[in-house]
């Protein structure tokens, strides 16, 4: 089967994505260092057994990701200088969306999430889902694991602001409804990609643990970790037509701290953080987590 011939499931394998993926791996692994020039488009086309159009599109993808920089008309691009991962953190709405979009360029996308609900994750994921729907991105598989607070646990937060009302069940009832709503929307949006035959394999597992989260974590493709804190704030919410003053954990505008493997990370320190975070997530997943019932 040639790179652009129909795949067994009826989709088309993308020479652009194959070239982009190989070059991306060389850059992130350090085989290609900042400032190194890539081979010419003609040389890359020969290496990958494809045409220059696919190569040019692949280079455009890597420029969009900030991995390449142009070196003048007709000249091959060079590997871009990568900003250090310990630069100033960005807000979750910006950072998570950008990093998810980059992660979706991989052939096999894996994402682990620990958060209060999936509300922010759903919003940040939308550009990547749209790009897949428009055939701009074409991963072969997507695997998402999500850990959320147990909807049956007596969580510390959210709760009523007034101490004398702290046993009022309504804040947790509201959280349970939001949890099911956003988790159901997440599962539907991703599984629809497989139903529409845009991604051959999609798996979304959502489980719960009896913990009140004070932080959120995203692990992307096993090569980077995003970490942010929830702040406890009082505010007014509405539940079933009634207003309530509650103490809640808010993370929509949280700053995300990023650790990355490869040349844009801090070497062993970032690699160790990512590995320890993965082990921590797996320890919860395989011990005290239980499937979330959405019905």
**Distance between CA atoms of 166 and 147, rounded to whole angstroms?**
26
Asked if 33 and 98 sit in the same domain, the reply is: no
Cα gap 167→159, rounded to integer Å? 8
Q: Residue 69: give the domain boundaries.
A: 15-79
Q: Which of these three, 45, 79, 113, is where a domain ends? A: 79
- Whether 73 is covered by a domain: the verdict is yes
Last residue of a domain, one of 44, 79, 114: 79
| 241 lies in some domain | yes
Quote the percentage of the chain above a pLDDT of 70.
88
Whether 6 is covered by a domain: the verdict is no
Has residue 203 been placed in a domain? yes
Shared domain check, 116 and 65:
no
Asked if 48 and 96 sit in the same domain, the reply is no
Residue 56 in domain: yes
Q: Taking 80 as the threshold, does the pLDDT of residue 253 lie above it?
A: no
Residue 178: is its pLDDT beyond 50? Answer: yes
Do residues 48 and 147 both lie within one domain?
no
244 and 279 inside one domain: yes
Residue 248 or residue 82, greater confidence: 248
Residues 69 and 98 in one domain: no
Per the structure, the count of domains in the chain is: 2
Task: Tell me whether residue 7 is in a domain.
Answer: no
Q: Are residues 109 and 35 in the same domain?
A: no
Q: Which residue has the higher pLDDT, 254 or 126?
A: 126
pLDDT at 31 over 70: yes
Is the domain of 31 the same as that of 97?
Answer: no
| pLDDT at residue 177 greater than cutoff 90 | yes
Residue that finishes a domain, picked among 79, 102, 118? 79
- Per-residue pLDDT, averaged over 106-131, amounts to 95
Beta bridge partners of 291: 207
Confirm whether 5 is domain-assigned. Answer: no
Mean pLDDT of all residues in 208-226: 96
- Residue listed under structure tokens 């991995």: 67
Q: Domain with 140 in it: what CATH number?
A: 3.30.870.10
Let me know whether 104 and 57 are in one domain.
no
168 and 24 fall within a common domain: no
238 C-beta neighbours (distance < 10 Å), count:
9
What are the φ and ψ backbone dihedral angles of 37, each rounded to 5 degrees?
A: -90, 140
**Structure confidence by residue, pLDDT tens digits, 57-111:** 888 878 766 678 874 556 788 888 765 545 678 887 788 999 999 999 999 999 9
Residues 68, 117 share a domain: no
* CATH code for position 59: 1.10.10.10
Same domain? For 56 and 132 the reply is no
Tell me the pLDDT tens digit for each residue of 33-58.
888 899 999 999 999 999 988 888 88
Residue 275 counted as domain residue: yes
């Amino acid at each position: 089967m040639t790179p652009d011939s129909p795949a067994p499931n009826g989709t088309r394998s993308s020479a652009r994505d194959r070239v982009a993926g190989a070059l991306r791996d060389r850059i992130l692994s350090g085989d290609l260092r900042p400032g190194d020039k890539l081979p010419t488009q003609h040389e890359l086309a020969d290496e990958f057994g494809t045409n220059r159009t696919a190569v040019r599109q692949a280079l455009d993808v890597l420029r969009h990701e900030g991995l390449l920089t142009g070196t003048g008309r007709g000249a091959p691009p060079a590997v871009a200088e990568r900003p250090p991962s310990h630069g100033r953190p960005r807000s979750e709405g910006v950072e998570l969306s950008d990093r998810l979009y980059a992660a979706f360029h991989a052939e096999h996308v894996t994402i682990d999430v620990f958060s209060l609900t999936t509300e922010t994750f759903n919003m940040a994921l939308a550009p990547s889902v749209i790009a897949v729907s428009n055939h701009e991105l074409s991963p072969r598989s997507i695997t998402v694991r999500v850990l959320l607070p147990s909807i049956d646990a007596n969580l510390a937060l959210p709760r009523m602001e007034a101490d004398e009302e702290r046993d009022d069940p309504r804040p947790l009832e509201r959280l349970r409804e939001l949890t099911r709503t956003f988790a159901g929307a997440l599962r539907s949006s991703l599984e629809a990609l497989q139903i529409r035959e845009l991604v051959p394999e999609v798996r979304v597992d959502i489980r719960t643990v009896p913990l009140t989260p004070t932080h959120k974590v995203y692990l992307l493709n096993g090569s980077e970790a995003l970490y942010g804190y929830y702040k406890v704030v009082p505010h007014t919410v509405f539940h079933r037509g009634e207003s309530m003053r509650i103490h809640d954990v808010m993370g929509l505008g949280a700053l995300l701290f990023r650790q990355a493997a490869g040349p844009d990370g801090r070497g062993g320190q970032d690699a160790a953080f990512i590995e320890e975070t993965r082990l921590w997530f797996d320890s919860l997943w395989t011990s005290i987590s239980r499937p979330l019932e959405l019905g």
